[in-house]
Structure 1
Amino acid sequence: MTALLEVSGLEVEFRTAEGIVKAVKGVDFTVERGKTLGIVGESGSGKSVTSLAVMGLHRAASSTVTGSVKFEGTELIGAVPETVRKLRGRRMAMIFQDALTSLHPYFTIGDQIAEAYREHHGGSRKAALERAVEVLGDVGIPEPRRRVHEHPHQFSGGMRQRAMIALALSCEPDLIIADEPTTALDVTVQAQVLELLKKLQQERGLGVIMITHDLGVIARVADEVLVMYGGSAAEQAPVDTLFASPRHPYTRGLLDSLPRLDAAEGEALSSIPGSPPSLLNPPPGCAFHPRCPVYAAEKNPLCTGERPQLRLVAEGHRNACQLDGVTA
């Protein structure tokens, strides 16, 4: 059976005045119907760049995208723009990080949803506004028939994010990419939004890519997890496996930095020393090695040789650490 989305060898480069930024390097993953892939990593790891490449939203004038992105077997990399445009919004939709800046301040919420719906389904403005009322009700916005005529600034942060979800759902897509959809929300509203996405996914069989830096969100919603660092995949595994048996030092560092209820009183939170690598001038070999406690202890030349690739280390579990299974 063909996967909903298959990404293979995806690479994204940006041309800048300082040189070539290698933002994504050889990323592979698949998304099945009804399943959620969580992509996690620090800022600058390539998460959002990967999602924009899947949606075909990088400007050709300043970027180069290579590899393969197949949606239900249809190749999108190198496809004519019209092919991608017909899929984008209709079959593939994206929920952006900041709803306030993603929604146009001049137009009402209803007009923005109706415009997207009419672009792909045609019909009258009245029918499109009725669809907007319907999806606003689906995502839990009270009095949708009245609020469909309000502007984004009249919605609270949580309601704006629900409106963004409604906009994404208006054309009944098969795949939703949610890029940090709960970052600006308080914990209570965040939980409501995540619960809403999970409910809609179960009802409609959606494939979901959840992009976040928050491992708590990943634990709550993901089936499979892809950990990214420095534009590359560091580790990939089912969510329970990743949390129970992380193999990459970066993944262990992320998990160790989480607050714990069983921590001793006054115990300081753990952190990963250093900063993410420059994508203009990345370090040789494994991009994480300058911050890696294992490399600091062993100084293994494998870490500074070739750039590591994901390899199978256990059933369903892939790791890009060169030292996994190697005795110093």
Structure 2
Amino acid sequence: MADSAPLLSVWDLTVTFPTKHGPVRAIDSLAFDVPRGRTLGIVGESGSGKSVTSLAVMGLHTGADVTGSVVLDGQELIGLSDRALNGLRGRRMAMIFQDPLSSLHPYYTVGEQIAEHHRVHFGSGRRAARARAVEALAEVGIPEPRRRAGEYPHQFSGGMRQRVMIAMALACEPDLLIADEPTTALDVTVQAQILELITRLQEERGLAVVMITHDLGVVARVAHDVLVMYGGRVAEQAPVDALFTTPAHPYTRGLLDSLPRLDDPDDTPLRAIPGSPPSLLDPAPGCAFAPRCPRAARGSEEERSRCAAERPVRSGPEGHPVACHFPAYEGVAP
């Protein structure tokens, strides 16, 4: 059962990268909470800041200026030393990366890699750590876990490697799990198995989960709450049912409209949001979505000027804030 108090609380998080062309503010004043036992889905186009957010929470950015507040179970993470963060990563919070093959070391067996993870955080002996590795592989549904613990990453299929990554992430029973595109490049059957596995483990352990994805189908399947990001900013935040039935931001509506529908004829072209994501080197002073926004294009000259010059502040009904000057809380046909 979900705890009403947030396990993870992010407030005014800003991440800026120095480049030869000038500073790039990849995340701009981000804020969200994740209670225990609940899943927050973070969605948006490539370059919207989803993965940058996850790495900032884990304290994995190097060379970036990270400001704001990230609080895990009452402990502030921004400003912690590397040694202190190393004690939390894997033990209190863990992350599943996009590409399991590049995330796993090719020269060590998967059992050795999971066991090392356990030894570092619990100081257990090799035999006990090995036993925990086999147990973790069994928990994520890998057949013959004792034998397969002695195999190398390249001997596993893509779906099985992703299960190994989940086993490694959960071997030390963390409170927070961040899954960054965990089903990328997997076929739909394996994707469903991975999502069911994460959901089952969440229910059994009361995990707080941050699910980062560009796939709204994944969000609809596993998330309790959704954060829509655009240009490093929050566009809309809502419970999953409210987001799909009453999207208020034109960008959210565009994402939903771009989904293929079963009742469309076979030759119906995919619907796309016109234009391109904004440049973070030279961010617009107003709404980042204004150049692509159909609502702004239909508006009066005064409304278009406001969208272009004035940055919208998140507002709206409790639990469903939206950063838009002209939000439209209206239903969407199923």
1:255 match: secondary structure: helix
CA distance in 1, matches of 2:107, 2:12: 40
Q: CA RMSD in A?
A: 1.3
2:218 match: secondary structure: helix
CA distance in 2, matches of 1:133, 1:80: 32
Q: Does structure 2 conserve the Cα–Cα contact (< 8 Å) formed by 1:47 and 1:211?
A: yes
The answer to whether 1:214 aligns with 2:218 is: no
- 1:96 Cα deviation (Å)? 0.2
The answer to whether 1:289 aligns with 2:290 is: yes
Query: 2:311 is aligned with what amino acid?
Result: R
Unaligned 5+ runs, structure 1 = none
Alignment of 1:25-64 (within 5 A): 25-59=28-62, 62-64=63-65
> Residues 199-230 of structure 1: CA distance to partner in whole angstroms, max 9, x if unpaired?
00000100000000000000000000000000
1:231 corresponds to? 232
CA distance in 1, matches of 2:284, 2:6: 35
2:314 corresponds to? 310
> Residues 95-144 of structure 1: CA distance to partner in whole angstroms, max 9, x if unpaired?
00000111011111011111111110011111111100000000000000
- 1:265 Cα deviation (Å)? 4.9
Decide which moves more: 186-195 or 299-308. 299-308
- 1:83 Cα deviation (Å)? 2.3
CA distance in 2, matches of 1:230, 1:157: 31
CA distance in 1, matches of 2:224, 2:202: 12
1:19 match: secondary structure: coil
CA distance in 2, matches of 1:149, 1:278: 47
- 1:14 Cα deviation (Å)? 0.3
1:227 match: secondary structure: strand
Runs (4+) of structure 1 exceeding 3 A deviation are: none
- 1:269 Cα deviation (Å)? 2.0
The answer to whether 1:65 aligns with 2:69 is: no
2:12 match: secondary structure: strand
Q: Does structure 2 conserve the Cα–Cα contact (< 8 Å) formed by 1:2 and 1:73?
A: no
1:153 corresponds to? 154
CA distance in 1, matches of 2:9, 2:312: 21
Q: Does structure 2 conserve the Cα–Cα contact (< 8 Å) formed by 1:10 and 1:24?
A: yes
1:134 corresponds to? 135
1:324 corresponds to? 327
CA distance in 1, matches of 2:102, 2:312: 38
Query: 1:255 is aligned with what amino acid?
Result: L
Query: 1:304 is aligned with what amino acid?
Result: A
2:245 corresponds to? 244
- 1:308 Cα deviation (Å)? 2.0
- 1:316 Cα deviation (Å)? 1.4
CA distance in 2, matches of 1:199, 1:310: 34
CA distance in 1, matches of 2:6, 2:273: 35
2:94 corresponds to? 93
Alignment of 1:7-18 (within 5 A): 7-18=10-21
CA distance in 1, matches of 2:82, 2:105: 24
CA distance in 1, matches of 2:22, 2:127: 50
Q: TM-score, normalised by structure 1?
A: 0.96
1:26 match: secondary structure: strand
- 1:79 Cα deviation (Å)? 2.1
> Residues 221-255 of structure 1: CA distance to partner in whole angstroms, max 9, x if unpaired?
00000000000000000000000000000000000
Q: How many residues end up aligned between the 2 structures?
A: 323
Decide which moves more: 194-203 or 1-10. 1-10
Q: Does structure 1 conserve the Cα–Cα contact (< 8 Å) formed by 2:38 and 2:209?
A: yes
Alignment of 1:173-192 (within 5 A): 173-192=174-193
Q: Does structure 1 conserve the Cα–Cα contact (< 8 Å) formed by 2:250 and 2:327?
A: no
- 1:84 Cα deviation (Å)? 1.8
2:331 corresponds to? none
- 1:92 Cα deviation (Å)? 0.1
CA distance in 1, matches of 2:112, 2:311: 48
Q: Does structure 1 conserve the Cα–Cα contact (< 8 Å) formed by 2:248 and 2:327?
A: yes
2:171 corresponds to? 170
CA distance in 1, matches of 2:170, 2:21: 40
2:332 corresponds to? none
2:112 match: secondary structure: helix
Q: Does structure 2 conserve the Cα–Cα contact (< 8 Å) formed by 1:302 and 1:323?
A: no
Q: TM-score, normalised by structure 2?
A: 0.94
Q: Percent identity?
A: 66
1:204 corresponds to? 205
Unaligned 5+ runs, structure 2 = 329-334
CA distance in 1, matches of 2:327, 2:221: 28
